[in-house]
Amino acid sequence: MSVYVKRLIVFVIIVLLLIAGIGLLKKRRAALAKAKPASVVPANVEKVVVKKGKIVLTIPALGVVKSSENAVLSTRLSGRVLKVFKQNGDLVKKGELLAIIDDNDLRSKLSSLAIEKSNINIEINSQKANLEALKVKLANLLDTHKRTKELLDVKGASIEQYNNEETAIAATKAQISSLENAIKGLKNKLGILNNSIKEIKNQITYAKITSPIDGIIAERFINEGDMAMPGKPLFKISSNNNLYIETRIPSDLNIKTVIIDGKEYPIKSLNKTINGIRTYKVIGTFKNLVEGEYIDLKLVTYKGENVLLPHTVILTKGDSSYVFVNDNGKIDKIKVNVIASGSEGVVVDQDLSGKELISAMPDILLRVAMGVPVHFLNKE
């Protein structure tokens, strides 16, 4: 078979295939034109009629019980812990002995200072006796010198005798001045010594660790045989008196009150902020609580007369919020401004009282926003 014939056959086959394809395409278009459009599945939603009333919106939070009478005990004394009388969880009374620290070194130093003080007092008394003797001697010298002067005036005494008495008087005065200075120095030394004794006695009082308040041993940091150091904590005592609750709230929330066990309490800022979180104190009287206990509470975000909207009627897209109002089967999309939100629902600035709103999950509301027909699950 020649090449020409082969090419002719291939060409004819291609033309026949093209004709057949065009015919199939026309039939398909005709079938599609006759077919009914696919039905749209309606969005299953519920009706919610909202009314105005008293509203309290809250968000959950956590508080911790604290006491203004807590005490962390330490000592100014360095020494080994000889005895510990209390364990974690033990009840203690104000003034009760908790531990004893070795104070033998201080007592030895106090004994040495007491001996030194006694010796100084003996020396002061001795010097005072010498001083009194010198003062008597000076008085006698002055009397004698006075008589010598009278005799010298009538040439009954020599000038040498008079000058010798002057010299003796000056020497005695010098001795008196020296003794007075010595006694003054001893008294100053005695004052310094008394201060040292007072300081050591004060330090010895820190050897006995006592509780400053009634409470519970929340934590014990020492054991018998440990070394106690100034500033090192020994015990933490928690008091069940003057309890309060502390909570932390983001600084962008303007919270004035909280609800605990159904009761509303005011709060007060403690002027402490960490990473944008402010610390507040719940003002009130609390009983049957334990310091360190965690308490569930509700932060009041809104309180007033308004319309409470369920979260399921709000569609949020970006920074905008919308609700869908059913008006006799016609669904109207309305933009709203959320002014408060809480676990209970949402409050907006538009008056929607008496309106019948569409309630559904966000993905269903998004379909409603696209114009999809709705099917009400609750007919009434």
Mean pLDDT over each residue of the chain, to the nearest integer: 88
Query: What is the residue range of 140's domain?
Result: 101-207
Cα dihedral 328→330→333→338 (10° resolution) = 10
- Whether residue 237 is contained in a domain is answered as no
- Whether residue 84 is contained in a domain is answered as no
Helix (H, G, I), strand (E, B) or coil at 195: helix
pLDDT in tens, 25-84: 777 777 666 655 556 788 899 999 999 999 999 999 999 988 877 889 998 888 999 999
Question: Which pLDDT value is given to residue 234?
Answer: 94
Q: Is the pLDDT of residue 172 over 70?
A: yes
Q: Is the pLDDT of residue 17 over 60?
A: yes
| Residue 192: Cβ-neighbour burial (10 angstroms; 0-12, 13-18, 19+) | exposed
For residues 131 and 138, give the distance between their C-alpha atoms in angstroms, rounded to a whole number: 10
- 7 and 48 inside one domain: no
- 336 and 367 inside one domain: yes
For residues 145 and 159, give the distance between their C-alpha atoms in angstroms, rounded to a whole number: 12
Compute the average pLDDT of residues 146-168: 85
- 107 and 198 inside one domain: yes
State the total domains in the chain: 3
- 140 and 201 inside one domain: yes
Instruction: Write the CATH number for 313.
Output: 2.40.420.20
pLDDT in tens, 72-118: 999 888 899 999 999 998 989 999 999 999 999 999 999 999 999 99
